[in-house]
Amino acid sequence: MDISRSYFNMEIETLDRGELDALIEERVKYTIRYAIENSPFYRKWFEKHGINPTEIKTHEDLLDLPLISGKTIQENQPPEIHEFMFRSVGWEDVFTIHETSGTSGTPKSFFLTWEDWVNYAEKYSRIFMSQGFGHGDRVVVCASYGMNVGANTMTLAAKQLGMTIIPEGKCTFPLRIIEIYRPTGIVGSVFKLLNLARRMRAEGIDPQESGVDKLVVGGEAFADESRNYLSEIWDCPVYNIYGSTEGTMCGECNEISGLHVPEDFVHIDVYDPHIENFIPDGECGRIVLSTLLPAGARTGNLLLNYDTEDTTLVLTRKKCPCGRTHMKIMTPQREAETVWVEGTPFNRVDVERGIFQRENMNYLTGEYEAFLYGEEDGETILRVSMECENPGTCDIDLIKENFIHTFFRSQSPLSRAYEAGTFKILFNFQGPKGLDLNKIKGKPKRLVDRR
């Protein structure tokens, strides 16, 4: 077997740590020079903060720079000001314009050159090959084509790998697509892929006999329990990817033990906003990214020390059994999906983990929604609603017990509040399509803080 066929860019993906760090430092220096010469925002930013950009030469030097955020981008574009200060090429070199929503306010604007698209496609090409995709694969993409760059980037990557893309955009496509084209992979969310499997079984099509041998879940964090259940339903591996218009594009290899970061294209550090400092590998904090440009490259948008407001931790920088040397991070979680109760945080994924216990899935579809309420007497109530296959035969007591045991396993402070009666969990069980999220268009928010 030709081992090089397991990699898209074997030389870069298998660089030893010393050579990879040297390449990163080389690209840090070029990227800073590019920022000075081409980014109106960073020219003023360096001056405002008294930074001598010529002294920024290493990864460690990046740690000394101030952070920027989505709000910074919003404040440096129309309608706040007349110009797009983060645009770092002339209009004649902008290939596509994209907008990404912030937590509030005007969407953030991003400008991509064709060179940006080529680099983005390489990141996904590496991911796909690390997951076993390649020439001859037929992949249904259930992700939106438009302002979101993910679906288009995967399609460009497919061209480089000799894959065929079926660009459905949604997972509600006719089942004849499965029967006629026999796709070997599908990209979608956990819930889209579970719903698709239910539709197929209802029509007498066994997902395990459909020809699909790989699933890719992107765009959201998920619990290992939901991954395992999805893998069981389809009888194939389920891989995770994490991407953004900002250019992250990290993905699991066939080891499924963390997401490789394309360190030669994007630099990631982890920051704890509570202590206002960067933290060591193994500790959880926010992803702070910086664009890295190869010498001579151009980019439409440049970001240095950009706080993504997504949380992760660095799992390892050691060589992976797959042969890749680029570091691996834990599946990132959206900080917007994290709530705090009595000084303790928990995420939507923690709720999902309690629902997708294997015994529970004998009765549940996996669809759920959770709401947090605050009472006048200081009590906090978490109301978890779950969809049952058949409410009449649903073992409610078993599901409650499994949820509570799992949810509090890693939440000792909340467990004490639960025992003291200041934190309560209420359960609600509905039949198919009975949850409130079915009345809402678009992607549902599954953990809502209504305090």
Tokens 């890295």: give the residue.
292
User: Do residues 186 and 216 touch, judged by C-beta distance below 8 A?
Assistant: yes
Exposure of 37 by Cβ count < 10 A (0-12 exposed, 13-18 middle, 19+ buried)?
A: exposed
Exposure of 83 by Cβ count < 10 A (0-12 exposed, 13-18 middle, 19+ buried)?
A: exposed
Q: In the prediction, which pLDDT does 418 show?
A: 92
Does 132-236 match 337-449 in CATH topology?
A: no
Per the DSSP assignment, residues forming a β-bridge with 274 are none
Task: Give pLDDT tens digits for 90-141.
Answer: 999 999 999 986 555 789 999 999 999 999 999 999 999 999 999 999 999 9
Long-range contacts, stretch 223-226, CB < 8 angstroms, 24+ apart: 223/349, 223/350, 223/352, 223/353, 223/356, 224/353, 225/352, 225/353, 225/356, 225/357, 225/358, 226/190, 226/352, 226/353, 226/356, 226/366
Helix (H) or strand (E) holding 114: helix 114-130
Q: For 195-199, 289-293, 359-363, 447-451, which range has the lowest pLDDT when averaged over its residues?
A: 447-451
Q: Domain 337-449: state its class.
A: alpha beta
- The topology (CATH level 3) of 3-116+246-331 is Rossmann fold (3.40.50)
User: Do residues 345 and 339 touch, judged by C-beta distance below 8 A?
Assistant: yes
Task: Give pLDDT tens digits for 67-81.
Answer: 999 999 999 999 999
Q: Is the pLDDT of residue 434 over 50?
A: yes
Q: Is the pLDDT of residue 34 over 60?
A: yes
Neighbours of 10 (CB within 10 A): 16
pLDDT band for 4, please (50, 70, 90 cuts). low
Q: In the prediction, which pLDDT does 259 show?
A: 97
Q: In the prediction, which pLDDT does 218 show?
A: 84
How far apart (Å, rounded) are the C-alpha atoms in residues 420 and 422? 6
Quick check: helix, strand or coil at residue 36? helix
User: Do residues 406 and 390 touch, judged by C-beta distance below 8 A?
Assistant: no
User: Do residues 9 and 262 touch, judged by C-beta distance below 8 A?
Assistant: no
Q: In the prediction, which pLDDT does 202 show?
A: 95
Sheet holding 333-334, edge to edge: 277-278, 266-272, 285-291, 306-312, 333-334
Tokens 């040297």: give the residue.
22
Beta strands 314-316 and 328-329 are antiparallel
pLDDT band for 1, please (50, 70, 90 cuts). very low
pLDDT higher at 344 or 163: 163
Q: Please report, to the nearest 10 degrees, the dihedral formed by the alpha carbons of residues 61, 63, 69, 74 taken in order.
A: -10
> What residues does each domain of the chain span?
3-116+246-331, 132-236, 337-449
User: Do residues 218 and 242 touch, judged by C-beta distance below 8 A?
Assistant: yes
Q: Is the pLDDT of residue 199 over 50?
A: yes
Round the average pLDDT of the chain to a whole number and report it: 93
Tokens 């939507």: give the residue.
348
How far apart (Å, rounded) are the C-alpha atoms in residues 433 and 66? 47
Q: Whole-model pTM above 0.75? A: yes
With CA atoms as reference, report the closest residue to 265 among 60, 13, 82, 68. 13
How far apart (Å, rounded) are the C-alpha atoms in residues 367 and 186? 20
The CATH architecture of the domain made up of 132-236 is 3-Layer(aba) Sandwich (3.40)
How far apart (Å, rounded) are the C-alpha atoms in residues 430 and 436? 10
Q: In the prediction, which pLDDT does 3 show?
A: 56
Long-range contacts, stretch 171-176, CB < 8 angstroms, 24+ apart: 171/142, 171/195, 171/196, 173/140, 173/142, 175/199, 175/200, 175/203, 175/205
Q: In the prediction, which pLDDT does 100 show?
A: 84
How far apart (Å, rounded) are the C-alpha atoms in residues 21 and 16? 9
